[in-house]
Amino acid sequence: MGNTGTNPIRFSLGREGLLVQEEKLEVQTQKKKLVIGIPRELDKIESRVSLTPEAVEVLVANGDEIIIEDDAGKAANYSNNDYSERGGRIVQNRAEVFQADIILKVAPLTLEEIKLFKGKQLVISSFHLNSQTEEYVNSLMQLKVTAIAFENIKDEHNFYPVVRSMSSIAGTTSILIAAEYLSNAHGGKGVMLGGVTGISPTEVIILGSGTVAEYAVRAAIGLGSSVKVFDNSVHRLRRLQNNVGFPVYTSIFHPRVLEKALRSADVVIGAVNLLEKGPRFFVTEGMVKSMKKGTVVVDVSIDQGGCIETSETRSQLDPAYIKHGIIHYSVPNLPSRVARTASIALSNVFLPLLLEISESGGVEQSLKYNTGFRHGAYVFNGILVNKFIGEYFRLPYQDINLLMAAF
């Protein structure tokens, strides 16, 4: 007999003849309107904003609501009008921003800010383990919050897009800073970073061979400097050379070789990833004393404690100092020095994620199907899901991959 229903019966050919196929139902996802809050950063060293006005315009056109605290983009030279003209709603009441369903922030949350939450929200911000407390994590868990550390988010190529973009900005900026402090503008010895015909090029030493180092190399060579790169991994040095695309002097960290190179250096960039095992200081105070007077040291690794023994953590208000005749610049969060560029880079990462959350029907669905986004989660619906944080604070944690199976 024929099928009298609206859907025909489908068959497949098996070993025993024709078999009836299972009917596959199309799963429809309902688009969800997002209410996103962008608070003003109160940290004095944080000038970035998480979304640009252009990104806000795209989200508003998508049907989402964006609540922006007064002057949230001012430090990055975005005015309230820039946001309001593109559909953002500017509010004076800080507490109102933290009532949004999604809180998008650059600097880590503070306990005072967490107290303004209504609960069961999504928070996307940075998370600095060494500056947080057990109380911080417990507060998020009690409020049933889902918290994402944006530095741990991965893209489709298994890279960390936020870390990579901020590192590339920091690397290039470190060379531009060195150029400033070599010149007369900041009391330097009046040397142009780079080289011109008939004049020996400046010598730049770069410690490390990650993304920061790679972009520092590109900037220094682009200006005409002679560059030497030191690291404790031949593999990473080879990778840097391949990425840069032209020959660069490289060496493993041999103290005597490094000390000899430092004696003639005009600029030293500290770009070592100190989260890895190894010596804390790659340049000792004795090595600094042997350097030429007026040499500029920029310790980008100061975010992790510094890789140069004479480095001191400074702020943008008082960034440089002289020790043993060497000009030191060691300020955490270099991307904030070029806040507008850094904000655009952050917004380029966050905008697609927010659109995906909306299209998929909510954060749970997005976390379920986007493993890179899931990698950034450390609290999910009030449950700690990051093993490293759990062991650090001795708190119970669960595997988020197992929790996702319930959705």
Q: Which of 303, 318, 324, 328 does the annotation list as catalytic?
A: 303
- d(CA 320, CA 312) in angstroms, rounded, equals 9
- d(CA 103, CA 145) in angstroms, rounded, equals 11
> What DSSP state is assigned to residue 314?
-
Instruction: Please confirm, yes or no, whether 303 is among the known catalytic residues.
Output: yes
- d(CA 22, CA 289) in angstroms, rounded, equals 77
Instruction: Please confirm, yes or no, whether 266 is among the known catalytic residues.
Output: no
Residue in this structure with the two tokens 């991307």, named with its chain if needed: 335
The phi and psi torsions of 350 (rounded to 5 degrees) equal -75, -35
> What DSSP state is assigned to residue 371?
H
Q: Contact at 8 Å (CB) between 55 and 347?
A: yes
CA 305 to chain centroid, in Å, comes to 18
- Backbone CA torsion sign across 330, 333, 337, 338: positive
End-to-end Cα spacing for the chain = 40
- d(CA 207, CA 301) in angstroms, rounded, equals 10
Burial (CB count <10 Å: 0-12, 13-18, 19+), residue 62 = middle
- d(CA 327, CA 350) in angstroms, rounded, equals 37
Q: Which of 43, 128, 254, 399 does the annotation list as catalytic?
A: 128
- d(CA 39, CA 91) in angstroms, rounded, equals 10
CA distances to 194, 304, 383 from 197, rounded to whole Å, are 11, 39, 63
CA 353 to chain centroid, in Å, comes to 15
Strands (E), 276-376: 296-299, 320-323, 326-329
Catalytic residues: 128, 303
